[in-house]
Amino acid sequence: MSTLGPAMVEAAPSAALRPYVTRLCAYREHYGSPITRSEAAMPGAVLILAFGAPMEVGGERFTAFTGGLGDRFTVTRVSGPCEGVEVVLTPFGARRLYGLPLRHLTNLTVPVGDLLGPWADMVVGRLAETPSWRERLALADRLLTARIHEEPPLGPEVPWAWARLLASGGRLSAASLAESLGWSHRHLVARFQDQIGLPPKTVARVIRFGRAMRMLHSGTPIAQVAAECGFYDQAHMNREFRVLGDTTPGQIYPRPEGAGRAS
């Protein structure tokens, strides 16, 4: 690896994989000095099928790793050249792929082999042997599709509620979802923790944060974002951004050329 910096190529998941994966990306990272990043909480589970130098995640070193959804940011550190395929799974893709309740993976990072055994080593080995990035992405798509579809499908209720929360930008209440499904609040929370790993209220927070981030990056003023995304006030918005993203709205909202960085 002679060129420094990151490089990546993305591919849309195949139709059979699309309900379970929102992002497939072949990548390479190589820097002249270690790079530390704060990775924001997101409505998905990240699967890294990598080889090369390990990455530090939350102070621990991993090569191929994964985890569940979280309600806080995670600090990562890249100190050597590495490459592979990054997969962003929907909660239901993670639930079927790993075959265990996602509450056991909330805010955790674990080696892929701990969850998927020899299959994980096979996948990483085959990706490493495939020089073309496009072929790597196609291979990852085929292997993930086959593995996920080995597990029994999930019921439609929680995916329906998840889709409603996404469509609302996280502004639907748990009470309204439970009422629509004819469930008690306790049953809704239990099903969310099994299939998503977080209770509905926390899921809504992460979705709302993601929507607010996208709006800020697009140039929407901070006060308008706070109002449209349902934050109580800008102080509430600032607190959520610090917990979920290790940032503030003022650090994201595009500033005029030469202007100071807001805190």
The mean predicted confidence, pLDDT, of the chain is 93
User: What is the rounded CA–CA span in Å between residue 177 and residue 184?
Assistant: 10
Q: Which of 90, 76, 101 is nearest to 18 (CA)?
A: 90
**pLDDT band of 253, cuts 50, 70, 90:** confident
For tokens 């996280």, name the residue.
Answer: 170
Q: pLDDT value at position 261?
A: 38
* Mean pLDDT for the stretch of residues 235-262: 79
Residue 120 has pLDDT above 80, yes or no: yes
pLDDT more than 70, % of the chain: 95
Distance of CA 87 to the CA centre of its chain: 9
* Cβ density class 75-110: b for 16+ within 10 Å, e for less: ebebeeebbbbbbbbbbbbbbbbbeebbbebbeebb
Residue 154 or residue 255, greater confidence: 154
User: What is the rounded CA–CA span in Å between residue 212 and residue 224?
Assistant: 10
| pLDDT tens per residue across span 21-43 | 999 999 999 998 999 999 999 99
Residue 110 has pLDDT above 90, yes or no: yes
Residue 262 has pLDDT above 70, yes or no: no
Q: pLDDT value at position 5?
A: 82
| pLDDT tens per residue across span 42-55 | 999 999 999 999 99
User: What is the rounded CA–CA span in Å between residue 166 and residue 22?
Assistant: 13
* Mean pLDDT for the stretch of residues 192-214: 97
Q: pLDDT value at position 33?
A: 93
- pTM above the 0.85 mark? yes
Residue 213 has pLDDT above 90, yes or no: yes
Q: pLDDT value at position 12?
A: 97
Q: pLDDT value at position 260?
A: 39
Residue 128 sits at the vertex; the CA angle it makes with 79 and 8, to the nearest 5 degrees, is 60
Q: pLDDT value at position 254?
A: 67
* Mean pLDDT for the stretch of residues 200-223: 96
Specify the DSSP class assigned to residue 197: S
Q: pLDDT value at position 4?
A: 79
Q: pLDDT value at position 186?
A: 97
Distance of CA 180 to the CA centre of its chain: 27
| pLDDT tens per residue across span 55-106 | 999 999 999 999 999 999 999 999 999 999 999 999 999 999 999 999 999 9
Q: pLDDT value at position 256?
A: 46
Q: pLDDT value at position 257?
A: 46
Q: pLDDT value at position 255?
A: 57
